Amino acid sequence: MQGVFITGTNTNVGKTYIGVALAKALRKQNINVIPRKPIESGCESVDGELVPKDAHALMEAAQYQGTLSEVCPYRFEPPISPVRAAHLAQKVLTTEQLVSNCLEGSEDGFTLIEGAGGFYSPLSEDGLNADLAMALQLPVLLVAEDALGVLNQVLLNTEAIKVRGLYLAGVILNQMTDDHDTRMDNAADLRNHLDCPVFSVTYSDDTSTVLPTELIERILTQHDRRRVTRLAI
C-alpha cells in the first residue's frame, strides 16, 4: 500500500486543507490519488443524505472517479467526536472496518487518508487515530495550527508517532488567523528539536496553497524505500 496518513495535533487545524493541497500536487505528477476519510462527523443533511464536507473536498482535489460513499462510508450529523456521534446513531464501528475502507482500491494508486481529530483522538469503538495509522503502516503527516503553544503540542505528538514505530514524513504548521504574532517562528524552533522537515503555510479560503517540493519528494521517496526493503526480504 502506497499513501500517507494525515493527522493533527487537534481538530480544526487544517488537515483537510493540507490534504487537498497534497492531492492536487500529486495529481500534477500524474499520480492516481485515492482519497479516504473513513469517518466524518458534523455532516450536513442535504435532501435526506448526510454530506461529508471534508471528504467531498478531498474527492474533488484528487479527481477521484469513485463514489463519495467509497471515500467516506461512515457519516454522522452531530459536530462531536466520531465515536460519540456513532453511539448516538446506535452504531458500533471498529478499527477493522475503517482499515477495510482504507484498503479498498489501494492497489490502484496513492491512498491519501485523513483521520478525524488528533492523533490520540478516539476514532472507533476499539481504537484511536493512532491505531488506524499503525494498522495501515503509512508515513504520517502531522498538521498543527501555527500559534502560541504549538511547540509543546507538536513535540508531544511527534513523540507519540515515533513510539508507535511510524515514519514521520513531516510537520506542517497552518497560520489560521490574520493576527499571527510575527515575533514567533515556531517552524524554526521546532527544527531545533525534530529530524523531519517542518513547514509553515498560510491558510487561505481559496485552497491555493502549494506544498513544498521537499515534502512531496520525501513522502514519495519513503514509499520507494519501503518497496525496495520488501523486495529484498
The enclosing H or E element of 83 equals: helix 82-88
The sign of the torsion formed by the CA atoms of 70, 57, 6, 49 equals negative
Q: What is the pLDDT of residues 170-207, one digit of tens each?
A: 999 999 888 878 899 999 999 999 999 999 998 777 65
| pLDDT score recorded for residue 211 | 84
DSSP at 147: S
Q: Which CATH superfamily is domain 2-232 in?
A: P-loop containing nucleotide triphosphate hydrolases (3.40.50.300)
The enclosing H or E element of 178 equals: none
- Which entry of 24, 28, 37, 91 is annotated as an active-site residue? 37
**Which residues, 6+ apart, have CB-to-CB distance to 127 below 8 Å?**
94, 95, 98
**Residue 24 annotated in active site:** no
Is 0.85 topped by the overall pTM? Answer: yes
Q: What is the pLDDT of residues 132-158, one digit of tens each?
A: 999 999 999 999 999 999 999 999 999
Q: Where exactly are the structural domains of the chain?
A: 2-232
